[in-house]
Amino acid sequence: MGLAVPRDVSLLAWDDSQLCQLTPPKLSAMSHDVFGFGAEVARLLLTVLKGGTPATGPVATPVPTPRESTAPPARTT
């Protein structure tokens, strides 16, 4: 499409992984505890399967990990 990253468009991945650091440019991503989230889902599922009511509450907020694929908007004159 003729666009340059990040000059023309910024890219941000939802799921941070080592692949994000291997791509040129290095891909900015949202970092979150995927394994911890999976463990919590498993605990809640086991509670439901045992006939219980799962507890509700806040979940961890993902944190942006800026790398080379994001930049501030270009200034227009």
d(CA 65, CA 12): 9
pLDDT for residue 15 = 87
Model pTM greater than 0.75? Answer: no
pLDDT of residue 34: 82
Instruction: Using pLDDT thresholds of 50, 70 and 90, give the confidence band for residue 20.
Output: very high
Find the mean pLDDT for residues 37-44. 91
Distance CA 75, CA 66 (A): 20
Q: What DSSP state is assigned to residue 15?
A: S
